[in-house]
């Protein structure tokens, strides 16, 4: 039964259930389902069912689930296999750890793989945290971390600001405020004669506080300002609002595609020569760089990024080669696209004959110059000259 038919039948059977159809990327799910970790988590489930559970969990909390998979298995770029795998793995690990610390971790629900990515925690300490939680119940105070085996003061100092405890004894334990900064908050409360429950989330009251009055040798003005911002929006998630593309009903395979269709999709990858877009047919389509915008585009990354929801038009469907040509210029037709790309190719060929440098990023990656350019980009990214994933690191920690 097709996905749409199954969804429609389910909604018809249970009209009281308000459901929404969401397509979740299955990249790397097979790697997880065959892993030792999956076998430990679901020893009685078939491999295919483990993968299904992993995909469903990605919808609930993508970060918590994707940390269980080697980032390279998800796909981080067209040329990931052409760079130093050791250096790439190290850089990717750093990016994942930065993202986990930037978002924060719920101490009472986090798994070992997720806790291992928190600053100051090793895999053995993460396992000890889970063991303490299983034996003693949920954490109600950050200070209880010091009771965990092998988690000493230094590790506590590094990890405490990134671990959250919801509905604990101290409301500050659910925020990014580090325990070392709690005395600052207490001084603020005393100065305004208010309790913590009355202050957290009260932006109007907090905006009247003069941060300079609470600066100390240990905590400077930027840290005080960060504390006030956190108190105004406690436990805020720095990740953007969840959005998903609305795929067209009845369009589930390449056979359902017709030239001229206007569809909504999600950008899955951006390269030198364009962007790949998932339109819900199990095969990403390519928006060539010349079809990204009505204006000249030198670098596709300036127009779209991975995860963007975009509207595209189907230009051509090549079933034998499983290729889909798309455009974000909704008034474009296939003939216009072919003519423009041929013009770019002739322009670059002419420049070659005159010994000039070809126009960068205006051709597909078929020539040596384009290949070298792409390789340079990949190496630059591996050496940290380009950001693979961006986030905002909370500064209220030590």
Domain ranges across the chain: 18-70, 87-169, 179-237, 261-327
Class of the 261-327 domain? Answer: mainly beta
Kindly give the confidence (pLDDT) of every residue in the chain, 398 residues in length, as a single tens digit, with 9 standing for 90 and above: 456 677 778 888 888 888 777 878 888 999 999 999 999 999 999 999 999 999 999 999 999 999 999 998 887 776 788 999 999 999 999 999 999 999 999 999 999 999 999 999 999 999 999 999 999 999 999 999 999 999 999 999 999 999 999 999 999 999 999 999 999 999 999 999 999 999 999 999 999 999 999 999 999 999 999 999 999 999 888 988 888 888 888 888 999 999 999 999 999 889 999 999 999 898 999 999 999 999 999 999 999 998 899 999 999 999 999 999 999 999 998 766 555 555 544 444 444 444 444 444 433 333 334 334 443 444 444 444 333 333 333 334 33
Domains 87-169 and 179-237 share a fold: yes
**DSSP bridge pairs for 291:** none
Q: What is the CATH number of domain 179-237?
A: 1.10.150.310
Structure tokens at 93: 């690990």
What is this structure's pTM?
0.74
CA 338 to chain centre: 34
What architecture is the 87-169 domain classified under in CATH? Orthogonal Bundle (1.10)
Of 3.40.1190.20, 3.30.70.370, 3.30.420.140, 3.30.230.70, the CATH number of 18-70 is 3.30.420.140
Structure tokens at 239: 């990740």
DSSP for 270-281? EETTEEEEE-SS
How many other CB atoms sit within 10 Å of the CB of residue 330?
9
| Closest residue by Cα to residue 378 from 77, 42, 66 | 77
The bridge status of strand 309-318 relative to strand 285-288 is unpaired
CA 195 to chain centre: 36
Q: H-helix or E-strand containing 114? A: helix 112-116
What are 140-145's contacts with CB under 8 Å, separation 24+?
Answer: 140/165, 140/168, 140/169, 141/165, 141/168, 141/169, 141/170, 141/173, 142/107, 142/168, 142/170, 142/173, 142/179, 143/179, 145/107
- Angstrom CA distances, 209 to 170, 193, 300, 380, stand at 22, 12, 45, 45
């Amino acid at each position: 039964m097709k996905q749409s038919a199954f969804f429609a039948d389910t909604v018809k059977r249970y009209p009281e259930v308000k459901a929404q159809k969401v397509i979740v990327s299955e990249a790397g799910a097979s790697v997880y389902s065959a892993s030792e970790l999956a076998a430990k988590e679901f020893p009685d489930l078939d491999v295919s069912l483990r993968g299904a559970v992993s995909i469903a969990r990605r919808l609930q909390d993508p970060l918590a689930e994707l940390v269980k998979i080697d980032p390279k298995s998800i796909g981080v770029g067209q040329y990931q296999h052409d760079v130093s795998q050791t250096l790439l793995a190290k850089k990717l690990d750093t990016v994942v750890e930065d993202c986990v610390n930037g978002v924060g971790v719920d101490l009472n629900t986090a798994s070992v793989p997720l806790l291992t990515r928190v600053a100051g925690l090793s895999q053995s300490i993460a396992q000890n945290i889970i063991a303490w939680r299983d034996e003693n119940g949920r954490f109600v105070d950050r200070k209880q971390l010091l009771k965990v085996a092998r988690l000493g003061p230094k590790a506590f100092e590094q990890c405490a600001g990134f671990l959250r405890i919801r509905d604990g004894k101290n409301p500050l334990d659910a925020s990014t405020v580090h325990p070392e900064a709690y005395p600052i908050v207490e001084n603020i409360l005393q100065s305004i004669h208010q309790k913590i429950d009355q202050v957290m989330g009260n932006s109007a009251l907090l905006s009247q506080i003069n941060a300079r009055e609470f600066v100390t040798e240990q905590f400077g003005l930027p840290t005080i300002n960060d504390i006030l911002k956190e108190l105004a929006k406690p436990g805020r998630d720095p990740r953007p609002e969840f959005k998903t593309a609305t795929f067209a009903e009845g369009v589930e395979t390449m056979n359902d595609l017709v030239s001229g269709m206007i569809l909504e999709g999600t950008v899955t990858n951006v390269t030198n020569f364009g962007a790949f877009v998932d339109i819900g047919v199990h095969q990403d389509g390519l928006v060539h760089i010349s079809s990204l915008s009505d204006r000249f585009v030198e670098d596709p990354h300036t127009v779209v990024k991975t995860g963007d929801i975009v509207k595209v038009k189907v230009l051509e469907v090549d079933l034998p080669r499983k290729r889909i040509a798309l455009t974000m210029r909704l008034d474009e037709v296939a003939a216009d696209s072919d003519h423009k790309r041929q013009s770019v190719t002739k322009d670059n060929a002419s420049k070659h004959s005159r010994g000039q440098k070809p126009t960068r990023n205006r051709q597909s990656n078929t020539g040596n110059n384009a290949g070298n350019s792409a390789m340079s980009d990949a190496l630059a990214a591996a050496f940290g000259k380009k950001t693979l994933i961006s986030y905002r690191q909370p500064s209220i920690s030590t």
